[in-house]
């Protein structure tokens, strides 16, 4: 009896071991078959979708659009199937927009062109008096201001106009002495010595000649403006005493002015003497004033952080006055060939620059470009475009990823409805598009929330588990793992960001 019980126990142990082995083998076989089913799908050489017969360029995960796959299967990034990108719907060939919708959007095209332009930059300049052309009116004798013709500084004067009349009492004695010698019949040597003494006392030759002619001494002299310009200084008044070498007035001409250009500190190493300058006054943009930088003034302004460059500009018709603000374009003497597009055609996101290119088949495609310096209303493109290409210059749109290419741009392919509404302009987007779905909260961190959510048809997403960014670390404080919530999100430069999260059902 005991032997039968021992045999029965051994048999049961053996059967259990056999069952365990068979289960392990079956599980391994099922796991292997499952993995093969995920990866294999269709042969890598077959690029035709059996469902619709359309040619497939590649498969991709819409959340990671830059990663391309040669065959379908499950995404290694998200819990979702890879999606095909067809050759006739976009991809590398761009997107096609209905012509009527193009007209409604006001899309305008421009041609990429190559042009000889000067390397340079834009700056602001101020007109000033040319101090190298300024003249001074000085007294060479001791006297008194008998009459002041100029009334105040900054008065305009013409060449030869009287500035002041001086009374010089010291001139009377040598002139009377000369007249006495002449009346006494002195020889020419004595008269010559007397004339030399008067010249030494700064008596002008015109006064001496008048003394010989009229026989009357003169004690007044009129000082006049040496050139046409402005009295930038007037240092005397009526009745004031003046001494030899004293400056009575300063006259600055207006036929030539200085233009002092304020060069930003960041461009200080680029500016050099001899560079051409084309300046325009805001009050008359049609008038251009040109010149070449004569010198670079030393020192950086501590308030504006600019370097000053000075040049002369012609003002023979006196259109400009000192103190005018002018827009200046500083360019190099030698021109270089550059590839240019209208500045409005370049879309700058902060991380990259994009231009929408019109392909020969009429499709529009976003192309990342590298931009250089601006040249007026144009922008230099150093990489990404070739001469002769057509780009969108107005009404352009920005495509950040191929996910938005699939979710947003296909709507533009629809033919505009017939009737009066077809000509109505498309409404401008007031805010970024938002999407919503329901899911279970898996994890909450300071930067994002992970959901196992339902499909999002607007983006072509199936059910998956993924993370969405929070607008701030303190946002949605009541959301806990395990909750079933309804959430709203939008696309941003940093991915998908939550805008609203609220519990649903019994979780409220």
Q: Cα–Cα distance between 92 and 386 in angstroms, integer?
A: 17
Q: pLDDT per residue over 330-340, tens digit each?
A: 886 567 788 99
Which spans in 225-384 are helix H?
none
pLDDT of the residue at 267: 83
Question: Can you tell me the mean pLDDT for 37-60?
Answer: 64
Q: How many CB atoms sit inside 10 A of residue 253's CB?
A: 19
Tokens matching residue 396: 């352009």
User: What is the band of 21 on the pLDDT scale with cuts at 50, 70, 90?
Assistant: very low
User: What is the band of 88 on the pLDDT scale with cuts at 50, 70, 90?
Assistant: low
User: What is the band of 8 on the pLDDT scale with cuts at 50, 70, 90?
Assistant: low
Taking Cα atoms as reference points, which of 221, 189, 224, 223 lies closest to residue 208? 221
119 has pLDDT over 80: no
Q: pLDDT per residue over 303-348, tens digit each?
A: 889 999 999 999 888 888 899 999 998 886 567 788 999 988 888 8
pLDDT of the residue at 431: 64
pLDDT of the residue at 307: 92
Burial of 213 (0-12, 13-18, 19+ CB in 10 A): exposed
pTM of the full predicted structure?
0.45
Q: pLDDT per residue over 189-203, tens digit each?
A: 888 888 888 888 888
Q: pLDDT per residue over 222-253, tens digit each?
A: 888 988 889 988 988 888 899 888 889 999 98
Contact of 276 with 331, CB cutoff 8 Å: yes
Q: How many CB atoms sit inside 10 A of residue 363's CB?
A: 15
User: What is the band of 505 on the pLDDT scale with cuts at 50, 70, 90?
Assistant: low
Burial of 333 (0-12, 13-18, 19+ CB in 10 A): exposed
Question: Can you tell me the mean pLDDT for 253-262?
Answer: 91
219 has pLDDT over 90: no
Contact of 166 with 242, CB cutoff 8 Å: yes
Tallying the residues shown for the chain, one arrives at: 508
């Amino acid at each position: 009896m005991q032997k039968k019980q021992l045999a029965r126990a051994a048999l049961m142990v053996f059967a259990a071991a056999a069952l365990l082995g068979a289960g392990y083998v079956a599980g391994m076989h099922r796991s292997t078959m499952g993995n093969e089913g995920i990866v294999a799908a269709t042969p890598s050489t077959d690029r035709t979708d059996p469902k619709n017969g359309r040619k497939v360029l590649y498969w991709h995960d819409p959340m990671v659009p830059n990663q391309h796959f040669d065959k379908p299967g499950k995404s290694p990034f998200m819990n979702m199937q890879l999606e095909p990108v067809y050759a006739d719907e976009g991809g590398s060939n761009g997107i096609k927009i209905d012509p009527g919708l193009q007209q409604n959007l006001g899309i305008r095209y421009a041609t990429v062109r190559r042009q000889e332009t000067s390397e340079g930059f834009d700056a602001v300049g101020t007109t000033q008096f040319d101090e190298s052309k300024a003249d001074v009116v000085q007294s060479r004798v001791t006297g008194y201001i008998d009459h002041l013709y100029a009334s105040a500084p900054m008065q305009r004067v013409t060449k030869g106009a009287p500035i002041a009349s001086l009374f010089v009492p010291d001139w009377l004695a040598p002139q009377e002495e000369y007249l006495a010698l002449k009346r006494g019949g002195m020889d020419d040597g004595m008269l010559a010595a007397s004339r030399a003494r008067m010249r030494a006392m700064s008596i002008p030759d015109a006064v001496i000649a008048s003394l010989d002619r009229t026989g009357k001494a003169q004690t007044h002299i009129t000082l006049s403006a040496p050139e046409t310009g402005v009295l930038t200084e007037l240092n005397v008044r009526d009745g004031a005493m003046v001494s030899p070498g004293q400056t009575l007035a300063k006259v600055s001409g207006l036929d030539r002015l200085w233009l002092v250009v304020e060069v930003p500190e960041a461009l200080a190493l680029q500016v050099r003497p001899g560079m051409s300058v084309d300046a325009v006054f805001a009050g008359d943009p049609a008038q251009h004033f040109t010149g070449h930088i004569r010198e670079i003034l030393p020192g950086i302004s501590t308030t504006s952080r600019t370097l000053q460059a000075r040049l002369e500009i012609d003002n023979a018709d006196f259109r400009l006055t000192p103190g005018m603000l002018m827009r200046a374009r500083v360019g190099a003497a030698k021109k270089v060939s550059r590839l240019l597009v209208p500045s409005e055609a370049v879309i700058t996101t902060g991380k990259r620059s994009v231009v929408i290119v019109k392909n020969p088949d009429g499709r529009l495609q976003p192309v990342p470009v590298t931009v250089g310096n601006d040249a007026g209303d144009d922008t230099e493109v150093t990489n990404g475009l070739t001469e002769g290409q057509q780009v969108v210059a107005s009404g352009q749109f920005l495509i950040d990823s191929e996910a938005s290419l699939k979710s947003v741009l296909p709507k533009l392919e629809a033919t505009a409805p017939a009737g009066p509404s077809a000509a109505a302009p498309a409404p401008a987007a007031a805010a970024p598009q938002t999407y919503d779905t329901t899911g279970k909260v898996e994890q909450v961190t300071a930067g994002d929330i992970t959901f196992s959510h339902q499909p999002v048809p607007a983006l072509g997403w199936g059910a998956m588990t993924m993370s969405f960014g929070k607008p701030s670390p303190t946002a949605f404080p009541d959301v806990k793992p395990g909750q079933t919530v309804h959430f709203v999100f939008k696309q941003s430069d940093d991915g998908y960001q939550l805008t609203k999260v609220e519990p649903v059902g019994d979780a409220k």
